[in-house]
């Protein structure tokens, strides 16, 4: 595809692409800090308001339910209007909603504030992915996505660790306000970057000579439905996110109850495991891009392998191991669990029209939210209430194995799907 205006493959320049990437990375990090600071506050909120584990899990799922509803319409706005304005406004909104959590007085109010966070964060990942796909060379797409997505575990770990520390020393309400404010500053900076020009939704037609015609809504829908590698990627993503969201939400509680640790200690231990994904995400992208030189469908075969490995690691850790040995094996699980992301996200950009990239990833967000992240914390909380937290964690590897199977089936269609993508020239905005 011809999508760049510089000979080195960058839409404007490598330096400017890296600057925009830095802002996108920081916003993604604060996205997850604000999203997951609550999980280390569960024991405090539960004690103050007399809640169940299932209700606590709903505070995490609320964000994903809101994303399910708003991701697609906001992503359409991103694709057809402005990436920088949409992303800046979303970041301001979710930061303010996080501050609002500090002033809630009951389950309903906090749940509503968490929904508002989800509305703000609904299409940030699709918007950021679209910008990165345009700014950087296609051959580096999975690696850059891997580095960008390492902001997820980094933000998650920081949020979980800070939540436990702040709540222990100052009270759980202060945790929300302290973590929310830095994101506002980055959001304001984002309004001053330059965006790429919105891509016209056209297809190439041959009628004696090359010409273009606009894509209608029906044709856009058919494009998505006729791209099986994309559908399998969405479903595989959901299986993996079911596992990772459950781990993010309940690992602190698991260590707290299983080993009788303070919540601050348990949160720190869980955050170290999550931090291993900072290595896993860019490593996964790097390996997938390197393998791409030898195998064209490597961006789906690799997630199949890494998801299967994650299932084996988690099954071994939660069923057969305890103590230090379990913790060490879970470190590898934290790294492996995120390795699928960069290649899978790259696929959502590879096999679709460049003017539909944010929409493509937003559909991934919708599917993974409906079948993965919105269900995982509640399902794990339900099993914990019915049995115990140990039993709840032993079920998670099943979903990693299922994801591996789905990614493999998707890889069978990848080569054919990518050959059908339109060639589009992309340009930077001039003002």
What digits encode the pLDDT tens for the residues 31-81?
A: 989 988 888 888 889 988 988 888 888 898 898 888 888 888 888 888 777
Question: Per the domain annotation, does 427 fall within a domain?
Answer: no
Location of structure tokens 């001039």: 430
The mean pLDDT value of the chain amounts to: 86
Location of structure tokens 């599917």: 367
What confidence tier does 335 reach under pLDDT thresholds 50, 70, 90?
A: very high
Question: Per the domain annotation, does 425 fall within a domain?
Answer: no
Both tokens of residue 172?
């759980």
Question: Per the domain annotation, does 2 fall within a domain?
Answer: no
CATH number at residue 334: 1.20.1250.20
240 pLDDT more than 60: yes
Per-range mean pLDDT, top range of 116-120, 256-260, 401-405: 401-405
25 pLDDT more than 90: yes
198 pLDDT more than 70: no
When divided into structural domains, the chain yields a total of 1
Return the DSSP state at 196. Answer: B
Burial class, 209, CB count within 10 angstroms (exposed 0-12 / middle 13-18 / buried 19+): exposed
Question: Per the domain annotation, does 428 fall within a domain?
Answer: no
- The model's pTM is 0.76
Cβ partners under 8 Å of residue 52, min gap 6: 46, 381, 385
Question: Per the domain annotation, does 207 fall within a domain?
Answer: no
Closest CA to 34 of 213, 162, 147: 162
* 141 against 98, higher pLDDT: 98
What digits encode the pLDDT tens for the residues 396-426?
A: 999 999 999 999 999 999 999 988 877 666 5
Q: What is the pLDDT of residue 105?
A: 92
Return the DSSP state at 260. Answer: -
**Distance set, CA 62 to CA 31, 319, 363 (Å):** 15, 30, 18
302: containing domain = 14-196+222-418
What confidence tier does 350 reach under pLDDT thresholds 50, 70, 90?
A: confident
1 pLDDT more than 60: no
Question: Per the domain annotation, does 410 fall within a domain?
Answer: yes
Average pLDDT over residues 246-255: 89
Q: What is the pLDDT of residue 201?
A: 63
- The beta strands (E) that lie in 42-157 are given as none
Question: Per the domain annotation, does 7 fall within a domain?
Answer: no
Question: Per the domain annotation, does 23 fall within a domain?
Answer: yes
């Amino acid at each position: 595809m011809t999508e760049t205006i510089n000979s080195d493959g960058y839409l404007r320049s490598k330096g400017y692409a890296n600057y925009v990437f830095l802002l996108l990375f920081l916003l993604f990090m604060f996205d997850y800090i604000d999203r997951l600071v609550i999980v280390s506050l569960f024991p405090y909120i539960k004690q103050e308001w007399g809640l169940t584990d299932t209700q606590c899990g709903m505070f995490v799922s609320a964000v994903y339910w809101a994303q399910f509803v708003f991701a697609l319409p906001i992503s359409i706005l991103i694709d057809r209007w402005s990436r920088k304005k949409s992303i800046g406004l979303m970041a301001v909104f979710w930061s303010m909603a996080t501050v609002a959590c500090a002033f809630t007085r009951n389950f309903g109010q906090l749940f509503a504030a968490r929904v508002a966070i989800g509305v703000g964060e609904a299409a940030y990942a699709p918007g950021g992915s679209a910008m990165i796909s345009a700014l950087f060379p296609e051959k580096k797409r999975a690696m850059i996505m891997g580095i960008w997505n390492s902001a997820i575990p980094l933000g998650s770990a920081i949020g979980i660790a800070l939540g436990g520390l702040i709540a222990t020393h100052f009270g759980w309400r202060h945790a929300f306000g302290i973590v929310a404010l830095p994101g506002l500053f980055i959001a304001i900076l984002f309004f001053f970057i330059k965006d790429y020009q919105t891509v016209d939704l056209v297809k190439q037609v041959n009628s004696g000579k090359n010409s273009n015609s606009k894509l209608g809504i029906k044709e856009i829908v058919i494009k998505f439905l006729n791209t099986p590698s994309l559908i399998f990627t969405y479903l595989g993503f959901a299986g993996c996110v079911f596992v990772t969201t459950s781990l993010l939400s309940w690992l602190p509680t698991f260590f707290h109850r299983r080993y009788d640790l303070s919540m601050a200690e348990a949160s720190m231990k869980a955050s170290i495991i999550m931090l291993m994904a900072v290595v896993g995400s860019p490593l996964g992208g790097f390996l997938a891009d390197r393998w791409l030189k030898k195998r064209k469908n490597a961006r789906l075969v690799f997630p199949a392998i890494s998801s299967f490995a994650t299932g084996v690691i988690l099954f071994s850790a939660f069923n057969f191991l305890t103590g230090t040995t379990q913790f060490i094996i879970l470190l590898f699980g934290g790294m492996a669990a995120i390795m699928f992301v960069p290649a899978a996200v790259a696929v959502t950009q590879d096999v679709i029209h460049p003017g539909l990239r944010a929409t493509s990833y937003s559909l991934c967000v919708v599917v993974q939210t409906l079948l993965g992240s919105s269900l995982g914390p509640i399902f794990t909380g339900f099993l914990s209430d019915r049995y115990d937290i140990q039993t709840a964690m032993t079920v998670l590897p099943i979903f990693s194995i299922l994801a591996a199977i789905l990614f493999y089936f998707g890889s069978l269609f990848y080569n054919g799907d990518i050959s059908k993508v339109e060639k589009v020239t992309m340009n930077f905005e001039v003002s």
